[in-house]
Structure 1
Amino acid sequence: MLDLRVIREDPEQLRASQRARGENVDVVDELLAADETRRASLAEFEKLRGEQKSLGKEIPKASGDEKQALLARAKELAAAVKAAEAAAAEAQERLDRLAMVPSNIVLDGVPAGGEENFEVLREVGARPDLPSVRDHLELGEGLRAIDTERGAKVSGSRFYFLTGVGAQLELGILNLAMKTAIDAGFTPVVTPTLVRPDVMAGTGFLGAHADEIYRLERDDLYLVGTSEVPLAGFHADEIIDLDGGPLRYAGWSACYRREAGSHGKDTRGIIRVHQFHKVEMFVYCREEDAAAEHERLLGWEEQMLAAVELPYRVIDVAAGDLGSSAARKFDCEAWLPSQSRWMEVTSTSNCTTFQARRLGVRERAGQGTRSVATLNGTLGTTRWIVAILENHQHPDGSVSVPKALRPYLGGKEVLEPSVASK
């Protein structure tokens, strides 16, 4: 949800943002018209209500015909006030509905265009020079770390089991991510993975990509695709204290995504799956501090990628590829040797005050309150196993363990393939 005062003062800013995203521009005029109607209907209601109150004071003082006339007028006013109140409520409802439609206003400097129009900010680390390349599934099966056949047998396509060193790798990545977050001052949180509709809508996930989300209709609850969602709702309808600096949380959760619309994309292995685990950074801060905080989140993500010794690049995502709540997003993409391409492994978004307005998260400012900014960023997830196996592989199917992960795998330096059958 956007600040209506800002839209009234500079509607072209929102129009430009909608155009940059490739989204409906007409909604801006519809929103402004609904706002004008709401304000006019509210003014009419208040005018009639004021007249009704004034008349109520005159009636006891009147007598005879004058009193009868005043009583008749009072009856007319009562009906008019009721109708005006209903009209104002209807106008407010329409405005509230339209206010949820526009996406967040993209920040200055965000590249224009769609998915392919990102800007590469930097590339870090050397891509491995491999004499032969196996993909992560072949490596994972050889290590008895990944079992997609039994995953499909038990749960269907795009499900899997992580076994042995595969499970250890995932836990190692997540524990290293949580340690990194705690060392940086984040509060660790294990979050719910089912949330109410108002929380899911408040984060902006029930818009264009609602078909990505699993819904439990009987309970009217949603399975989260990221702990960003419950963490965004953590302080809903609260006034929080930011005098001591940003509130930073690191959420550990299972995540669920339907992967609707991705038919035929990365169906092999565990790149695009319906269930995975993730450690997600989530921050509440003052709006004027959000850009600097965004850079900090990106820095912690790069710290993690360096720790697991992955070649990666950082991209500034184009406006047309942003989620509805993000005003700017940076992705970190690791090199994927088996496909000779970059694969997104982390992202961090500055959502400015968009989510906080929807969820009622405010801070005290002067004589009143104001909305805060929210930001999020991935610090480690199951998909990292893909990049780690492929970039650290050897011709015999063994895989070197990055030094930072060795304590979580019993000190193993190399994962050796198994010759045993499944």
Structure 2
Amino acid sequence: MIDLRALRDSPDRLRASQRVRGEDDAVVDRLLDLDSRHRAALTRFEGLRAEQKSVGKSVSAAAPEERESLLARAKELAAEVKRAEAEAGELSADLDRLLREVPNIVEDDTPVGGVDDFVVVEEVGTPREFDFTPRDHLELGELLGAIDTDRGAKVSGARFYFLTGVGAQLELALLNLAMQQAAANGFTPMIPPVLVKPETMDGTGFLGAHADEVYRLEADDLYLVGTSEVPLAGYHAGEILPAESLPTRYVGWSPCFRREAGSYGKDTRGIIRVHQFNKVEMFVYTHPDHAHEEHLRLLAWEREMLDKLELPYRVVDIAGGDLGASAARKYDCEAWVPTQGRYRELTSTSNCTDFQARRLNIRFRDDSGKPRHAATLNGTLATTRWIVALLENHQRADGSVVVPEALRPFVGRDVLEPVKK
């Protein structure tokens, strides 16, 4: 959640942020009003309680003729203190609820607008020109014995699939390469749980506007994660991290689950938009003053992976109206998909500043020894979806696919060949 003290000092920052996101900036006045009333109620409660204590001490020392009136006043004060405490508690709860509905404050130069208003930062590589009609990733996957969506649907329903043979090997190769790269850059590898408590899911900001995307196990009151960002953010919940340990970098490998609510009819062919996939996710805790630079480092590591896989891609700066609630800034890397004639998202990296850390109470001690909330950041390093771009961009006329050199040690071959049926 946002910093209430910072809001009091600079309310226009949140107003401007809300406008960039396309959200109602009147929430600022509602927050300030609730905050003012809450503080006034607290002051009244504390004043009444102090008077109650004073009267209580006076009773035992009072003369007999004064004791009765003091006892009556003590009784009145007890009732007033109870009412004042209840009022302060209700206002506190109202304020907390409203704060949790307000998204993070965006960085100052975040593009304005919605899903189509991103800014292209850079294009890398040139989309390949084919001297044959390219096959899409599903046709290639079926020729290679790598993807089976028919049996995925038979076993589990729409948007499920099997990766078989070289398909499974290719995904493991991608994920292992990503883990290797992250570990070489100082990340601690993690295999996190993929079922989390409500407070962890809510703490990372995933139970707001996009709650219908999340799978919930009602009998256990647990949620299936859509990214290992969630358990990695909860890993240090309620803790004070040593300042000298920052930045603390983790890289998580996990299956991920998304309901894809609202995507009916979109990307129904193949494995672009599915309910279950594997992902390697970078996650960082750092000093808030260093978060912007760390964000650019995460982006650079994502680009390094794409370069290793010899994919043409572009980097886009996501507009405010398309940011998740926790993100102050987000960059996507989108790879060229030849049969669609457009770029499709493969990676995202978000700077969440101290938004998640406030909700999860994750702090560090600054140079003066005072606890401060840390900043958190995340970034994708590989997912199942990357197979789409790999197969399509590296295909040959006979349906075989050249394995990028960086992946060959993990796949064990230079070329994926069609299987005989």
Compute the TM-score of the two structures, normalised by the length of structure 1: 0.98
**How big is the shift at 1:125?**
1.2
Query: Is residue 2:389 matched to residue 1:387?
Result: yes
Query: Is residue 2:298 matched to residue 1:288?
Result: no
**How big is the shift at 1:419?**
2.5
Query: Is residue 2:24 matched to residue 1:44?
Result: no
Spell out, residue by residue over 1:202-252, the C-alpha distance to the aligned partner (whole angstroms, 9 max, x if none): 101111111110011111111000000000000000000131430000000
1:33 aligns with 33
Spell out, residue by residue over 1:12-46, the C-alpha distance to the aligned partner (whole angstroms, 9 max, x if none): 11111111111222222111111111101100000
Q: Distance in 2 between matches of 1:351 and 1:25?
A: 20
Q: Distance in 2 between matches of 1:244 and 1:146?
A: 43
Q: Secondary structure at the match of 2:101?
A: coil
1:195 aligns with 196
Spell out, residue by residue over 1:72-111, the C-alpha distance to the aligned partner (whole angstroms, 9 max, x if none): 1111111111111111111111111111011000001111
Q: Secondary structure at the match of 2:17?
A: helix
2:272 aligns with 271
Q: Distance in 2 between matches of 1:323 and 1:96?
A: 19
2:306 aligns with 305
Q: Distance in 2 between matches of 1:109 and 1:8?
A: 22
Query: Is residue 2:357 matched to residue 1:353?
Result: no
**How big is the shift at 1:367?**
4.4
Q: Distance in 1 between matches of 2:233 and 2:347?
A: 19
**How big is the shift at 1:265?**
1.1
**How big is the shift at 1:69?**
0.8
Q: Distance in 1 between matches of 2:372 and 2:161?
A: 45
> 1:356, 1:362 within 8 Å by CA — same for their partners in 2?
yes
What pairs with 1:8-407 in structure 2 (closer than 5 Å)?
8-131=8-131, 132-365=133-366, 366-407=368-409
Counterpart of 1:108, as a letter, is D
Q: Secondary structure at the match of 1:346?
A: strand
Unmatched segments (≥5 aa) in structure 1? none
**How big is the shift at 1:168?**
0.2
Q: Secondary structure at the match of 1:100?
A: helix
Counterpart of 1:31, as a letter, is L
Q: Distance in 2 between matches of 1:237 and 1:414?
A: 49
Counterpart of 2:30, as a letter, is E
Counterpart of 1:310, as a letter, is L
Spell out, residue by residue over 1:321-341, the C-alpha distance to the aligned partner (whole angstroms, 9 max, x if none): 111100000000000001000
Larger deviation, residues 4-13 vs 136-145: 4-13
Give the RMSD, CA atoms, in angstroms: 0.8
Q: Distance in 2 between matches of 1:70 and 1:110?
A: 62
> 2:246, 2:285 within 8 Å by CA — same for their partners in 1?
no
Counterpart of 2:344, as a letter, is M
> 1:151, 1:159 within 8 Å by CA — same for their partners in 2?
yes
Unmatched segments (≥5 aa) in structure 2? none
> 1:228, 1:376 within 8 Å by CA — same for their partners in 2?
yes
Q: Distance in 2 between matches of 1:15 and 1:102?
A: 11
Aligned length: 419
Distance 1:218 1:244, change over 3 A: closer
Q: Distance in 2 between matches of 1:380 and 1:334?
A: 12
Larger deviation, residues 352-361 vs 83-92: 83-92
Counterpart of 2:90, as a letter, is E
> 1:27, 1:101 within 8 Å by CA — same for their partners in 2?
no
**How big is the shift at 1:60?**
1.2
Counterpart of 1:404, as a letter, is A
**How big is the shift at 1:63?**
2.0
Q: Distance in 2 between matches of 1:413 and 1:127?
A: 22
Counterpart of 1:263, as a letter, is Y
Spell out, residue by residue over 1:239-268, the C-alpha distance to the aligned partner (whole angstroms, 9 max, x if none): 001314300000000000001111111110
> 1:177, 1:304 within 8 Å by CA — same for their partners in 2?
yes
Q: Distance in 2 between matches of 1:61 and 1:321?
A: 67
Q: Secondary structure at the match of 1:109?
A: coil
Q: Distance in 2 between matches of 1:123 and 1:64?
A: 89
Larger deviation, residues 239-248 vs 180-189: 239-248
Counterpart of 2:394, as a letter, is H
Q: Secondary structure at the match of 1:251?
A: strand
Q: Distance in 2 between matches of 1:147 and 1:26?
A: 51
Counterpart of 1:156, as a letter, is G
Q: Secondary structure at the match of 1:113?
A: coil
Q: Secondary structure at the match of 2:243?
A: coil
Counterpart of 1:49, as a letter, is R
Q: Secondary structure at the match of 1:139?
A: helix
**How big is the shift at 1:368?**
2.3
1:417 aligns with 418
> 1:240, 1:363 within 8 Å by CA — same for their partners in 2?
yes
**Identical-residue share of aligned pairs (%):** 65
> 2:336, 2:342 within 8 Å by CA — same for their partners in 1?
yes
